């Protein structure tokens, strides 16, 4: 398939904005002005619009017709709903993926869990945590759940950062223990156990976030 110049520019713009949102450099509710993006990348408005539509489908940007684009944000109630959804569908996605693991998959996950435990940097932890969980679902072969989970992960990235920052030493220890326990159940071939660990792991994040409503406060930008 031939990639047009506008198509290549659109992908490049989308990748850059996506990295800025996931990396916390663009906060929820931040306005994204097409003219500023076009000037930054030396592009016309067309690839910028295509990039923003792509980011909207990823759950990262909200487009309002004839008004503009903003980094997507959630209310506490919306975030709780998303986490409750994740509690139910991610264990199922994990179960779909387990039979298709290559021989070294659990070793890869175990190494990522060790790296998360070793780092004290929040941004590095978030990158490793995302890689850990999405890798655990890789190969599931689903036509719907996998894409939905990626979108839900995107939409909650900022709030996972707030959750991670809020952890005290005891809660941080629990997070690491759950990652190690998940890899142990996977190594043992215990799909039921892995589902239960993952469900509790996601629920713990939801309950902790619900104790910090200030994370969801929004100032117009």
CATH at residue 147: 1.20.120.530
Tens digit of pLDDT at every position of the chain (221 positions)? 334 456 789 999 999 999 999 999 999 999 999 999 999 999 998 999 999 999 999 999 999 988 899 999 999 999 999 999 999 999 999 999 999 999 999 999 999 999 999 999 999 999 999 999 999 999 999 989 999 999 999 999 999 998 999 899 999 999 999 999 999 999 999 999 999 999 999 999 999 999 989 888 864 44
State whether 155 and 200 are in the same domain.
yes
* CA distances from residue 168 to 54, 89, 171, 174, 175 in whole angstroms, order as listed: 37, 28, 5, 10, 11
DSSP secondary structure letter of residue 2: P
Of 213, 183, 65, which is closest to residue 116 (Cα–Cα)? 183
Q: What is the pLDDT of residue 8?
A: 87
The answer as to whether 192 is a domain residue is yes
The answer as to whether 96 is a domain residue is yes
Separation CA 204–CA 200 (nearest Å): 6
Range of the domain at 16: 5-71
pTM of the predicted protein model: 0.89
Q: What is the pLDDT of residue 5?
A: 59
Tell which of 47, 71, 95 closes a domain: 71
- Tokens for 215? 């994370």
State whether 117 and 164 are in the same domain.
yes
Cβ partners under 8 Å of residue 30, min gap 6: 70, 71, 221
Of 102, 213, 112, which is closest to residue 163 (Cα–Cα)? 213
Task: Find out whether 157 and 73 touch, Cβ atoms under 8 Å.
Answer: no
Q: What is the pLDDT of residue 6?
A: 61
* CA distances from residue 176 to 51, 95, 159 in whole angstroms, order as listed: 36, 21, 18
State whether 114 and 144 are in the same domain.
yes
Helix axes 34-41, 5-22, angle to 10 degrees: 110
- Tokens for 15? 């990748």
- Tokens for 80? 């709780």
Tell which of 25, 50, 71 closes a domain: 71
The answer as to whether 155 is a domain residue is yes
Task: Find out whether 32 and 71 touch, Cβ atoms under 8 Å.
Answer: yes
């Amino acid at each position: 398939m031939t990639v047009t110049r506008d198509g290549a520019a659109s992908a490049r713009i989308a990748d850059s904005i996506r990295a800025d949102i996931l990396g916390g450099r663009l906060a929820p509710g931040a306005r994204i002005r097409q003219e500023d993006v076009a000037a930054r990348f030396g592009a016309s408005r067309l690839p910028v619009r295509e990039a923003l539509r792509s980011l909207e489908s990823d759950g990262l940007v909200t487009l309002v017709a004839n008004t503009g684009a903003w980094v997507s944000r959630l209310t506490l109630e919306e975030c709780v709903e998303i986490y409750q959804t994740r509690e139910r569908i991610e264990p199922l996605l994990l179960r779909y993926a387990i039979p298709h693991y290559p021989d070294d998959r659990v070793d890869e996950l175990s190494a990522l869990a060790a790296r998360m435990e070793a780092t004290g940097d929040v941004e590095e932890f978030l990158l490793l945590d995302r890689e850990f969980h999405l890798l655990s679902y890789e190969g599931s072969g689903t036509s719907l759940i996998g894409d939905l989970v990626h979108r839900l992960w995107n939409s909650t990235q900022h709030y996972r950062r707030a959750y991670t920052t809020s952890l005290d030493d005891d809660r941080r220890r629990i997070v690491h223990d759950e990652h190690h326990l998940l890899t142990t159940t996977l190594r043992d071939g215990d799909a039921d156990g892995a589902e239960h660990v993952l469900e509790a792991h996601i629920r713990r994040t939801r309950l902790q976030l619900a104790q910090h409503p200030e994370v969801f406060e929004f100032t117009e930008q």
